[in-house]
Amino acid sequence: MVHGARGERLTPSVLTARRPPEQGLALKFRQAGRHSSVGLARLGVAAVVVLLLVVPPACFLIQAVSPRLFNQGTSWLTWSNVSTAFTDGLGRALLDSVAVSLGAGLLAVVCAAGLAFISERTTAPGRRLFVLALWAVLLVPSYLVAVGWEEIVLKSGLLASMGLWNHTIQRTVLGPIGVAFVLGFKGTPFAYFALAPSMGALGGDIESSVRVHGGGRIDALRVIAPLLLPAIMSGFVIVFAESVGDFGVATTIAASAHFPVATYTLYESISTFPANFGVAAVVGWSLIGTVALALLLQNGLMRSRSFAVVSGRSRASAPKTLGRVGDSMALGFAVAFFGASLGVPLLGVVSSSLLVPFKGLHLSSLTLSNYKGLLGVSGLSGPIRFSAEIGLVCGLATVTLGAVLARTMASSRKGIGGKVLDMALLVAVALPGVVFAAGYIFAYNLPFLAHAGIDLYGTVPLLGMAYVANAVPQSSRIMLGPFSQIHDSLLHAARVHGAGWARSWRSGVLPLLARPLLWAALLAFSGLFLELPISELLAPPGVVPVSVAILSVLGKANIGQGTALSVLAVAFTLGVVGVCLGLFHLLAPPGWRHWQRPTPVKEPAVGNDAQTAALPGSASTIQADLVGVS
């Protein structure tokens, strides 16, 4: 109820009557202007999404039933590609993909839940390093992890050098189980970033409420656990989608294990001559359908739920002290996970680059010749510079568009538009980069476009557009969690205190999102820097991205040099990430980076366990919760 200065009730008509007519009209114009500018902005975003993310894949996928549209066949409408795809083994490949992706999703959720619990709910040693290590897991390409495991378990690998080679181990690792594990490890960071914020943010208020009403720890857990279901499902589905669309493991372990997966089938359809884009499109549709089903299942489970659990008044839970045994178990769990997902494969790759083949594991067989040999490779500086520059530009563009899309989804998930966008972006995660690349050729090399003066194919801008299109789905999904956690009350509070729209975001929300935005940009940069399928098909003649240059060198170098080059390339991206984080720590405003030092707040005793707890309750701590760091 609104009251006037004298205490009388003010109805809308009263408010209107007290306002001068011109002012009311001006207000209406202002509001209309604001609404139209918001509408225009939304239209612009929609246009960008359509041109970047919808049209090119659609041009590719339509060929499943109408190859003649793009001169790839004689039929305007045919189902023959569907039958051909399944005759070629798509059914089995799809089942294989679903099976390993389900396994990967489950493994990732379990690992992520364990890590999130340790980092968010305990004082276990080393937990502050989890996020950094998880980002390292995320940044190392899946093919390198797969190759690393191969180097360990093969007959000529590290295990054999130590006399520990075993055929069963080799068959297990280089088979479906190994594929699922590698994909699960690679997906764990996604699941963690989906789970950790909820794990950290849910506890404080809700747990206190349970305890105030006489509930014990088990009761609190029973209340909190179901609230994590959306985060668990969110993490599971994105890992599932990433695994279904994975190319790195599909072309390494899976390809050599007589274990065909759908992405490899797609790869074969496109690589053969004549390329069968129609069959590849059918595979693309099947990938989309698989992920869409998973997404519908998720939405069904989460219907009518809201992700908004953090507001300006939210409090994180108090971290638990586990004791010596608990700390040891927590540490053991973390060491086992990071060892398997990062340590062992990197050991395999690095050892392969340092050992002389067939000489066993002796000090005398160690050599730096592979790295020294790379010194003779000239001409890599141009490609490195190009990829670093376009990675920077497209990384920023990706994170900008990704943030807009994440905010759109977070604020309108219950609307049709939000749901469609949500599903479209997740489905896009499952489409391999080569689908985007070929789709961009079909969409932007049409003769009528060239005649109209829109001659984009074979230009750097089109390459950049494809890079952004390929990276945005993942980027927006990563930022969806943090954006979903931002309650509108933060903005409302800023507006009530007189801040404009821009200042509300800049001062009220950006500090909370600075770190997720930075990480998303770094992830986009790292992915773009070493991106291959799009670079191969869309880089203009004479322009050599670093991944293509590396491939060229690998074709001529020996195996050890090739591995050494891969190690250096990944080390370079990790170095860039490290430098950026360091600069952020040094240069970002204090409010953006002091989140790691929460202000202890003394809370009153809760429930039967009278104690004084140091509960972090500042906004900066909430920010830490948002990125899963405590």
Partner 1 sequence: MRKVKVESFAPTTAIKIAGSALALGAALTACSNASTTKSASPTTVAAGSSTTTAAAAAASTTKVPLVVYAAEGYDQAEVKAFQAATGIPTKLEDHSTGTLLTKIQAEGSNPQWGVFWSDGDGAYAALDKQGMLLKGFEPDTGTLNALGQKEVPADKSYIPTGITVAGALVYNSSVVSAPPTSWAALTGPAWKGKVGMNNPAISGPTYSFVAGMMNQLGGVTQGEQYFSQLAANGLHVYSTNKVTLTALLQGQINAAIVQNSAGIGFEYKYPQIKVAYPSMVTALPGVLGIDDKVSPAEQAEAKQFADFVYSPAGQKVMLSGDPHGDSLFFPIVNGTSQHSLVPQLSSIPIQFINPYVWGPQEGTINQWFTAHVVNG
Q: Give yes or no for residue 83 binding partner 1 (CB under 8 A).
A: no
The amino acid at residue 64 is A
Residues 6+ away with beta carbon under 8 Å from 176? 96, 99, 100, 257, 259
Which string of DSSP letters, residue by residue, matches 326-342? HHHHHHHHHHHHHIIII
ω before 189 within 30° of 0 (cis)? Answer: no
Which residue number, 442 or 529, has a Cβ lying nearer to partner 1? Answer: 442
Among 536, 568, 594, 613, binds partner 1 (CB under 8 A): 536
Which residue number, 219 or 536, has a Cβ lying nearer to partner 1? Answer: 536
Which residue number, 300 or 453, has a Cβ lying nearer to partner 1? Answer: 453
Among 159, 173, 199, 390, binds partner 1 (CB under 8 A): 390
Rounded to a whole number of angstroms, the minimum distance from the CB of residue 198 to partner 1 is 31
Region binding partner 1 by CB under 8 A among candidate stretches 16-24, 339-347, 446-454, 599-607: 446-454
Element of type H or E holding 172: helix 167-173
Rounded to a whole number of angstroms, the minimum distance from the CB of residue 172 to partner 1 is 15
Which residue number, 298 or 470, has a Cβ lying nearer to partner 1? Answer: 470
Q: Tokens 């359809």 correspond to what residue?
A: 269
Q: What HEC string does 436-449 produce?
A: HHHHHHHHHCCHHH
Interacting positions 93-122 with partner 1 (CB under 8 A): 93
What Cα–Cα distance (Å) separates residue 598 from each residue in 160, 201, 321, 626? Answer: 49, 14, 18, 14
Q: Give yes or no for residue 456 binding partner 1 (CB under 8 A).
A: yes
Which residue number, 194 or 468, has a Cβ lying nearer to partner 1? Answer: 468
Q: Are 112 and 191 within 8 A, CB to CB? A: yes
Q: Are 64 and 81 within 8 A, CB to CB? A: yes
Interacting positions 419-438 with partner 1 (CB under 8 A): 438
Which residue number, 300 or 447, has a Cβ lying nearer to partner 1? Answer: 447
Element of type H or E holding 454: none
Which residue number, 106 or 446, has a Cβ lying nearer to partner 1? Answer: 446
Q: How many residues bind partner 1 (CB under 8 A)?
A: 96
Q: Are 623 and 512 within 8 A, CB to CB? A: yes
User: 297: closest CA among 352, 240, 356, 350?
Assistant: 240
Q: Give yes or no for residue 468 binding partner 1 (CB under 8 A).
A: yes
Residue 453 — φ and ψ, nearest 5°?
A: 90, 5
Among 6, 258, 303, 324, binds partner 1 (CB under 8 A): 258
Residue 3 — φ and ψ, nearest 5°?
A: -120, 150
Which residue number, 563 or 621, has a Cβ lying nearer to partner 1? Answer: 563
Which residue number, 113 or 146, has a Cβ lying nearer to partner 1? Answer: 146
Rounded to a whole number of angstroms, the minimum distance from the CB of residue 525 to partner 1 is 13
Among 140, 394, 435, 570, binds partner 1 (CB under 8 A): 394
Interacting positions 268-327 with partner 1 (CB under 8 A): 268, 270-277
Q: Give yes or no for residue 380 binding partner 1 (CB under 8 A).
A: yes
Contact mark string toward partner 1, 46..75, x via CB under 8 A: -xx--x------------------xxx---
Among 284, 319, 383, 617, binds partner 1 (CB under 8 A): 383
Distance CA 628, CA 630 (A): 7
Its sign, for the CA torsion 119, 125, 129, 133, is negative
Rounded to a whole number of angstroms, the minimum distance from the CB of residue 601 to partner 1 is 41
Region binding partner 1 by CB under 8 A among candidate stretches 240-248, 325-333, 531-539, 618-626: 531-539
Map residue 57 onto helix, strand or coil. helix
Q: Are 228 and 202 within 8 A, CB to CB? A: yes
Q: Are 80 and 63 within 8 A, CB to CB? A: no
Interacting positions 148-187 with partner 1 (CB under 8 A): 150, 154-157
Which residue number, 536 or 603, has a Cβ lying nearer to partner 1? Answer: 536
Interacting positions 539-578 with partner 1 (CB under 8 A): 539-544, 548-549, 552-559, 562
Distance of CA 97 to the CA centre of its chain: 19
Q: Give yes or no for residue 253 binding partner 1 (CB under 8 A).
A: no
Region binding partner 1 by CB under 8 A among candidate stretches 206-214, 409-417, 439-447, 492-500: 439-447
Distance CA 250, CA 264 (A): 6
Among 33, 39, 44, 589, binds partner 1 (CB under 8 A): 44
Q: Give yes or no for residue 441 binding partner 1 (CB under 8 A).
A: yes
Rounded to a whole number of angstroms, the minimum distance from the CB of residue 125 to partner 1 is 39
The token duo for 617 is 């309750």
Q: Give yes or no for residue 386 binding partner 1 (CB under 8 A).
A: yes
Region binding partner 1 by CB under 8 A among candidate stretches 215-223, 384-392, 490-498, 591-599: 384-392
Q: Give yes or no for residue 457 binding partner 1 (CB under 8 A).
A: yes
DSSP structure class, residue 606: B
Rounded to a whole number of angstroms, the minimum distance from the CB of residue 58 to partner 1 is 15
What Cα–Cα distance (Å) separates residue 226 from each residue in 213, 287, 296, 383? Answer: 19, 30, 19, 50
Residues 6+ away with beta carbon under 8 Å from 36? none
Rounded to a whole number of angstroms, the minimum distance from the CB of residue 511 to partner 1 is 23
Which residue number, 20 or 274, has a Cβ lying nearer to partner 1? Answer: 274
Rounded to a whole number of angstroms, the minimum distance from the CB of residue 567 to partner 1 is 16
Q: Give yes or no for residue 251 binding partner 1 (CB under 8 A).
A: yes
The amino acid at residue 585 is H
Its sign, for the CA torsion 80, 85, 87, 92, is negative
Which residue number, 130 or 457, has a Cβ lying nearer to partner 1? Answer: 457
Q: Are 119 and 130 within 8 A, CB to CB? A: yes
Q: Give yes or no for residue 92 binding partner 1 (CB under 8 A).
A: yes
Calculate ∠ Cα 623-602-495, nearest 5°.
Answer: 45
Contact mark string toward partner 1, 3..42, x via CB under 8 A: ----------------------------------------
Q: Are 494 and 449 within 8 A, CB to CB? A: no
Q: Give yes or no for residue 405 binding partner 1 (CB under 8 A).
A: no
- β-partners of residue 366 are 355
Rounded to a whole number of angstroms, the minimum distance from the CB of residue 347 to partner 1 is 16
Rounded to a whole number of angstroms, the minimum distance from the CB of residue 390 to partner 1 is 6
Distance between the two ends of the chain, CA-based, in angstroms?
A: 42
Q: Give yes or no for residue 376 binding partner 1 (CB under 8 A).
A: yes
Distance CA 110, CA 100 (A): 15
- β-partners of residue 202 are none
